[in-house]
Amino acid sequence: MGRKYPTYDTSLECIVAEAAAATGARAAYEVYLDDALEWLDRAASDSIHAVVTDPPYGVLEYTPKQLEKMKNGRGGVWRIPPSFDGCARRPLPRFTVLTEAHKEDIRRLFARLAERLMRVLVPGAHVFIATNPLVSYLVYEPFIAAGFEKRGEIIRMVMTLRGGDRPKNAHDEFADVSVMPRSCWEPWGLFRKPCEGRVQDNLRTWRTGGLRRISADEPFKDVIRSSPARGHERQIAPHPSLKPQHFLRQVVRAALPLGEGVVLDPFMGSGATIAAAIACGYQSIGIELNPEYFMMALDCIPKLAAYTPSEANGNGAKR
Ligand SMILES: C[S@@+](CC[C@H](N)C(=O)[O-])C[C@H]1O[C@@H](n2cnc3c(N)ncnc32)[C@H](O)[C@@H]1O
């Protein structure tokens, strides 16, 4: 990038910085207060080597009205899961309230995202995109329609407290019934922009096309055990959808097969993907629309990058 770090744009719309994680990895990153689609419209073609992102796939849940309802703890998409053990639960978005019109909005958002990523990504670039079992098809179909190859899914094995409840207001009458299964996994769609020629040709030209192995003996795997972000990590970054470093570092590491290039998170929230990229020693770019979360990311990125997850190393991630 050849710039002096850190440099601060006076409007706070773009901050370019360099952070050194506790691991000793140093990496440059850029963060923008912007709309992801508008930023992508201005980005250069063939300039990004991987995307790792956790988008607002409910579309609704990050609108000012829904965020206000979440803060007030009443109504809307955000619901507090029932507490059976006296512990306070964090609000989760409830996707069963989406209407057909909302679902169409989701499809349209991902169609616009996929179309723009197709131009901005280099051939062979991978996209890892968080979703959930109820709406994943609304995310996957537009990516395939835009020309991406579906390369499988990463299964994040996580207990979210979604589902598993008895029928509302009839708990006693139907004590042995759950309306939906208790969710124990989160799918991350895995897509690739088609390679130019063979994978080996694409790796030579663009440094992309495959996934980074854990070691000579061990490939990256598509099932990852992962607790929700909690404790110290959540204190650092109080974003309602914070993803844990332990998980993100494994995914981000795999996303650049030769450890070279730029990782983009167009919906960065608190910047957890950017922090994971720093911990891996990768360059990255993050976009966030909400000024409150953008400011949170400025503060959190170096702290999350320096954070050492307590979980054992998996998939070759730096702790
Ligand atoms: C699910 S959260 C990501 C949380 C992130 N994974 C973390 O660990 O902090 C999605 C984020 O996308 C942001 N967002 C929503 N629409 C956006 C848009 N059009 N452009 C950029 N960011 C957007 C929301 O404000 C929210 O912070």
Domain boundaries, the chain: 29-306
Half-sphere exposure of 233 (CA within 13 A, CB side): 24
Cα of 268 vs centre of ligand 1, distance in Å, is 5
Say whether 120 sits in a helix, a strand or coil.
Answer: helix
The Cα 8–Cα 157 span in angstroms is: 39
Q: pLDDT per residue over 208-239, tens digit each?
A: 999 999 999 999 999 999 999 988 999 999 99
Atom number, ligand 1, closest to the C-alpha of residue 242: 8
Of the candidates 31, 60, 7, the one whose C-alpha atom is nearest the C-alpha of residue 304 is 31
Q: pLDDT per residue over 93-123, tens digit each?
A: 666 667 888 899 999 999 999 999 999 999 9
Mean pLDDT of 70-85: 57
H-state helical runs in the chain: 36-42, 64-72, 100-120, 136-145, 199-206, 231-236, 245-255, 272-280, 291-306
CATH H-level, domain 29-306: superfamily: Vaccinia Virus protein VP39 (3.40.50.150)
Q: pLDDT per residue over 155-214, tens digit each?
A: 999 987 788 999 999 999 999 999 999 999 999 999 999 999 999 999 999 999 999 999
Cα of 129 vs centre of ligand 1, distance in Å, is 12
Residue with the larger pLDDT of the pair 41 and 85: 41
The whole-model pTM stands at 0.87
Q: pLDDT per residue over 119-162, tens digit each?
A: 999 999 999 999 999 899 999 999 999 999 999 999 999 987 78
Cα of 3 vs centre of ligand 1, distance in Å, is 27
